[in-house]
Amino acid sequence: MTLTLQPVQVATGAEEEDMLLFDRDQRLLAVLVQLSPENEVAPGQWYLEVGFGRLSELSHPTFADLSAVEDWVNQRSRVGRSRW
C-alpha cells in the first residue's frame, strides 16, 4: 500500500513533530506521535495515538521508526484482506 505522511502538531504536551498517515486514496489512517527522548516508557519512539478502520487498535503499539510503522500497516492490510 502506498502511504503518505504529513507533519502535524498534536496537542499531547510534547514539542516533537507528529505525523498524519494517509493511504493512497488520501484517506486518514492514523495519527502518529513521536514520544520525547525523556519519555519513561518508549523514549523517542513513534506511538499510534489513534488509528482508523483496520488500524483501530486497542493496544496502541509503539515503533522504532516510520518504516516500522509502514511494515505494520502493510501487515495489517494483508490481515484485513485475508479476513474479508
Among 21, 31, 35, 55, binds another protein (CB under 8 A): 35
Neighbours of 83 (CB within 10 A): 7
84 CB-contact burial (10 Å; exposed 0-12 / middle 13-18 / buried 19+): exposed
Q: Which residue has the cell 521508526?
A: 65
Contact at 8 Å (CB) between 48 and 20?
A: no
Among 2, 58, 67, 84, binds another protein (CB under 8 A): 58
The reply on whether position 25 binds another protein by CB under 8 A is no
The one segment of 3-11, 20-28, 38-46, 74-82 that binds another protein by CB under 8 A: 38-46
Among 15, 41, 67, 83, binds another protein (CB under 8 A): 41
